[in-house]
Amino acid sequence: MPLSPDASPRELIETLRALGGRGYIVRRASGGIEASHPELESLAQLCREDTRDFLDHEAVFMAVGPESGALFGAFVHRTCRGQGAGGLRHWPYPSVEAWLRDGLRLSAGMTRKNAVAGLWWGGGKGIIARDETADWRARDYRNRLYAEYGRFVSSLQGCYVTAEDAGTTPPDMAAVFTNTRHTTCIPPDFGGSGNPSGPTARGVICAMEGALDALGRGSLAGKVVAMQGAGNVATYMMRGLLERKVAKIIACDIDERRITMLRDEFAGAPVELRVSTPEDISIFAAPCDVFAPNALGGVLNPETIPMLQTELVCGAANNQLLDDRRDMQALRDRGITYVPDFVANRMGIVNCANEGYGEVHEDPAIERHLGREWTNSVFNATQRVLARAKRDHISTAQAANTIADELAAELHPIWGHRGLQIIESLVAQGWARPSSN
């Protein structure tokens, strides 16, 4: 019996167990989309028929953690520029379809983010469906879970290279690293790049500067910046904005302890810190020159967009638009310029993606993204996106996607379409046959 996409992740786990623990959906060289087993055919069919989240992905690999019993996914979108690289999300999902769609959408987003950043990496994403019945916060459980995920990544022979993402921490990545070389964002003690929040904040500030300049609004000096979320990235952003002499920062967070801590740090500075609740969206009505979504995705929607009192939205959160087309149009109708998230927040992946090539103090390979000389810097890429949107009378999201898709089709100068070769090789070797586990 094929598994229904409405099934729960638990049912997919049981199905995979019965199949020997592994399964996949791949796009063959002929263009056809194949499932490893008839039981997964309905998921392949969903991919064939979908026009929103399935964008000719190269592969979706799935497996059950042998001891943890958790559902592991590796989503590989496009590997022309290099192997699929992107973070590992540990998140709860109500259904297999929700899990599949999240992985498809996020991995395609990584292809675009990596391409616009000029990285020689393709797009991928890892997902562990969080098992709410397990003690998933416990260090012991996590160490085992992430070590198992590392083994899963190793089995994929490098077509997917993992990293940190929502729900995953540096100690988790250290556990992944115990079983695979195909990971980044490992702690500095193991030769990794550590916390990316500082560079991410600097990148978003460069995007704000690029956009303000393109709009003829000058620099950040004297501007008011409002932000939802006062977490890791936002805190570095506040420091950077104050250095640039902004007139005022207004930030809210649902974490009262964090706000108390920041009130101490920014005492005497023009920073207004508000404690909010998950339902409280009043920050969207704060009059400002730049609004930065720095907490969650999906926050630009029919409820919040009419509230905005700004000309520019530019922040760190991934997938800020709840519905890409509808909400982008609503922003355009209101004359609000939107810097697509993957253009602004690239530095998280830039900071870790090439850590295997070693580290240089104030690394020029990183710093060039944050300057104005390199044509591909955040500042210049932001301006290119805005200029393309204006020239072609399209939205900034369409312009960014078009530019990204052109770049994503370029082949890695040395290794060509290596990721696809690896996928073909895994299929030929019978990766999903029980005997290969």
Q: Tell which one of 68, 83, 111, 294 touches ligand NAD (CB under 6 A).
A: 294
Kindly state whether residue 233 participates in binding ligand NAD, applying the rule CB under 6 A. yes
Is 355 a binding residue for ligand NAD by CB under 6 A? The answer is no
| Contact pattern from residue 317 through residue 336 relative to ligand NAD, giving x for each residue in contact according to CB under 6 A and a dash for the rest | xx------------------
Any residues with CB less than 8 A from the CB of 367 and at least 6 apart, and which? Answer: none
Least distance to ligand NAD, CB of residue 103, Å: 15
Does 278 bind ligand NAD (CB under 6 A)? Our answer is yes
Active site amino acids: 125
Amino acid letter at 259?
I
Q: Does 7 bind ligand NAD (CB under 6 A)?
A: no
User: Which C-beta is closer to ligand NAD: that of 228 or that of 383?
Assistant: 228
> Nearer Cβ to ligand NAD, position 69 or 298?
298
- Binding of ligand NAD at residue 126 (CB under 6 A)? no
- Asked if 112 is part of the footprint of ligand NAD (rule: CB under 6 A), the reply reads no
Q: Segment 152-211, which members bind ligand NAD (CB under 6 A)?
A: 166, 196-197, 200
> Judged by CB, which is closer to ligand NAD: 142, or 418?
142
By C-beta, is 316 or 331 nearer to ligand NAD? Answer: 316
| Residue number, 242 or 427, with CB nearest to ligand NAD | 242
Judged by CB under 6 A, does residue 27 bind ligand NAD? no
Closest contact distance (angstroms) between CB of 362 and ligand NAD is: 18
**Least distance CB 185 / ligand NAD (angstroms):** 9
Residue (of 94, 342, 344, 95) closest to 203 by Cα position: 344
Q: Binding to ligand NAD by residue 307, rule CB under 6 A?
A: no
Please identify, among the stretches 147-155, 252-260, 367-375, 389-397, the one whose residues bind ligand NAD according to the rule CB under 6 A. Answer: 252-260
Q: Edge-to-edge strand order for the sheet containing 224-228?
A: 271-275, 248-253, 224-228, 290-293, 312-313, 337-338
Q: How far is the CB of 294 from ligand NAD (least distance, A)?
A: 5
Is 228 a binding residue for ligand NAD by CB under 6 A? The answer is yes
Other CB atoms within 10 Å distance of the CB of residue 272:
15
What's the closest the beta carbon of residue 277 comes to ligand NAD, in angstroms?
8
Bridge partners for 224 per DSSP: 248
Q: Which of 27, 57, 142, 258 binds ligand NAD (CB under 6 A)?
A: 258
Contact between 83 and ligand NAD (CB under 6 A)?
A: no
Q: Is residue 108 within the footprint of ligand NAD (CB under 6 A)? A: no
Of 404, 408, 387, which is closest to residue 396 (Cα–Cα)?
387
Instruction: Verify binding: residue 252, ligand NAD, rule CB under 6 A.
Output: yes
Q: 184 or 318, CB closer to ligand NAD?
A: 318
- Decide: is 316 part of the binding site for ligand NAD (CB under 6 A): yes
In the numeric block, which tokens belong to residue 205?
């500030």
Q: Decide: is 353 part of the binding site for ligand NAD (CB under 6 A).
A: no
State which residue, 114 or 276, has the beta carbon closest to ligand NAD. 276
Taking the complex as a whole, the smallest distance from the CB of residue 342 to ligand NAD amounts, in Å, to 9
Q: Does residue 232 bind ligand NAD (CB under 6 A)?
A: yes
Q: How far apart are the first and last CA of the chain?
A: 23
**Nearer to ligand NAD among residue 296 and residue 336 (C-beta):** 296
Partnered with residue 24 across adjacent β-strands are 61
**22 Rama class: left (phi>0) / alpha (psi -120 to 50) / beta:** beta
Residue selected from 88, 185, 208, 295 as contacting ligand NAD according to rule CB under 6 A: 295
Contact status: 304 vs ligand NAD (CB under 6 A):
no
* Residue 3 makes contact with ligand NAD by CB under 6 A: no
Residues that bind ligand NAD (CB under 6 A): 166, 196-197, 200, 228-234, 252-255, 258, 276, 278, 294-296, 316-318, 345, 348
